[in-house]
Amino acid sequence: MTRAELKHRVTEAVDRRADEIIALGETIRRHPELGFKEVKTAKLVEDTFQRLGLTPRTGLALTGVRAEAAGQKGQGPTFALIGELDALVVSGHPEADPVTGAAHACGHNAQIAGMLGAAMALHDAGAFDHLSGRVVFFAVPAEEGGDLEWRMSQRRAGTLEFFGGKPELVKRGHFDDVDLAMMIHTTPRPEDGKASVPLSNNGRVGKLARFIGRASHAGSAPHLGANALYAAQIALAAINALRETFRDEDTIRIHPILTHGGSQVNVIPAEARLETYVRGRTLDAVLDANRKVDRALRAGALALGTKVEIDTLPGYLPLDCDATMARYFKENAVALVGESEYRELGHRTGSTDMGDLSQIMPVLHPYMGGARGTGHAADYAIVDKLLAYVAPAKALATMAVDMLWDGAAGAREVLANARPRLTLEAYLTLQRGMAQREVYDGAAN
């Protein structure tokens, strides 16, 4: 048996399970659930692991499920194959859940199908007889943001500290025994080709701002009020004016929404609420832009003489993809989709909590096609089931062979070349330090 022969075997094993893998992806697509509430999806993962003879651990960071398989050729690094469980609220999506509004408009259903498909194939092919180290198959909750009020209530109740599944899992020690990790995200963008690897992704912090003014009769006594909506409006204008101060190379993205702007038309608004992310290529760039956003929020409060409560929330750290893993992935991806459909992407301006993992261990976060439309939009749909569900199973399973073959030489090579920026403790200290609350009184200044 050679490495190439084993990879061929696991690829054939995926093909034999193709219908089952597609059915899993489609079942999850039809039952979208929001982050930390992916109960049905988690059960499906648990049942599938059990049918493979694995022993899943469930309820990790509320809904996460992980199972592991050990190579029989001796000790070695532990490689996690990750799939994200959650959907997100996209208004107008034709498949949105009528109660929660959740829809799989980011293709995470395909991630779970691919991860489970890889587990099936490695099992069916008897791959672990030939590998060293371990594979952790990990279904993780809540990569998407949103549902903030509920998550804040969970934080107050002590059931969650972080609002992303991976940070919360890291905090609870569920990645302590993992040395390197990868996942494959679906992409609907034709320019990404059928398989691609980004260099990096933006990081971000979350922000909530609550302007507190004074209500009064909007017709007969507006001079007695302090208009919180106008304060918020000035803050929004100030944030927009700041955009020209950001350097192109920092790829800052700030996209505030107004979540409350008044109670009734004949009352001067006593309260207005904004929510935003502040994203950027490096942590320093995020923090610099974040300080400017705070200034803009205070400016609104100062102009109208309202208060503003500013909450900064830990978000996701920038993602760096591991170059050694990317080299192995390229070989596997080109074998699946052909050289002309493989792309090396530069920096991307979205953010993911895979970025957090990338600061403490080597990770890879490639994209594969099979979807159309726009990510997070109503027209997002999986249109090529083999590419979206089945091909990622092959890519993940062959990567597991590459990493853990020959005494896990591939994984050892990755670890020897990798320079993660943070220890686990330093990571937690950093993220906890991001949580800030400021109350600024514009009337007192």
Binding site for Zn ion (CB under 5 A): 106
Across 244-359, the runs of DSSP E, i.e. the strands, are 253-254, 257-260, 271-280, 307-316, 319-320, 342-344, 347-348
* Shortest distance, position 308 Cβ to Zn ion, whole Å: 29
Q: How many CB atoms lie within 10 A of CB 278?
A: 28
Phi, psi of 372 (to 5 degrees): -135, 170
* Shortest distance, position 105 Cβ to Zn ion, whole Å: 8
Indicate the residue among 106 and 231 with the shorter CB distance to Zn ion.
106
Indicate the residue among 106 and 395 with the shorter CB distance to Zn ion.
106
* Shortest distance, position 18 Cβ to Zn ion, whole Å: 23
Indicate the residue among 130 and 365 with the shorter CB distance to Zn ion.
365
Indicate the residue among 13 and 106 with the shorter CB distance to Zn ion.
106
Contact 90, 77 (CB under 8 A): no
* Shortest distance, position 231 Cβ to Zn ion, whole Å: 32
* Shortest distance, position 289 Cβ to Zn ion, whole Å: 21
Strand order in the sheet with 57-60: 57-60, 64-70, 134-140, 78-84, 180-182, 363-364
Residues sharing a CB contact under 8 Å with residue 169, sequence separation 6 or more, in sequence order: 60, 61, 64, 140, 175
User: What is the Cα–Cα distance from 231 to 220, expressed in whole angstroms?
Assistant: 21
Contact 43, 60 (CB under 8 A): no
Q: How many CB atoms lie within 10 A of CB 417?
A: 12
* Shortest distance, position 315 Cβ to Zn ion, whole Å: 14
Q: What is the largest CA-CA distance in the chain?
A: 87
Indicate the residue among 106 and 404 with the shorter CB distance to Zn ion.
106
Q: How many residues does the chain have?
A: 445
User: What is the Cα–Cα distance from 17 to 397, expressed in whole angstroms?
Assistant: 13
Indicate the residue among 104 and 130 with the shorter CB distance to Zn ion.
104
Contact 379, 385 (CB under 8 A): no
Sign of the torsion formed by the C-alpha atoms of 300, 306, 307 and 308: negative
Percent of the chain as helix, strand, coil, to the nearest 5: 45, 20, 35
Indicate the residue among 240 and 374 with the shorter CB distance to Zn ion.
374
Helices of type H across 128-171: 148-157, 165-171
* Shortest distance, position 375 Cβ to Zn ion, whole Å: 6
Indicate the residue among 179 and 320 with the shorter CB distance to Zn ion.
320
User: What is the Cα–Cα distance from 304 to 276, expressed in whole angstroms?
Assistant: 21
Helix (H) or strand (E) holding 181: strand 180-182
Indicate the residue among 106 and 135 with the shorter CB distance to Zn ion.
106
Indicate the residue among 106 and 299 with the shorter CB distance to Zn ion.
106
Indicate the residue among 106 and 308 with the shorter CB distance to Zn ion.
106
* Shortest distance, position 125 Cβ to Zn ion, whole Å: 29
* Shortest distance, position 108 Cβ to Zn ion, whole Å: 6
Angle between helices 108-124 and 39-51 (to 10 degrees): 10
* Shortest distance, position 371 Cβ to Zn ion, whole Å: 11
* Shortest distance, position 109 Cβ to Zn ion, whole Å: 11
Residue nearest to Zn ion as judged by C-beta position = 106
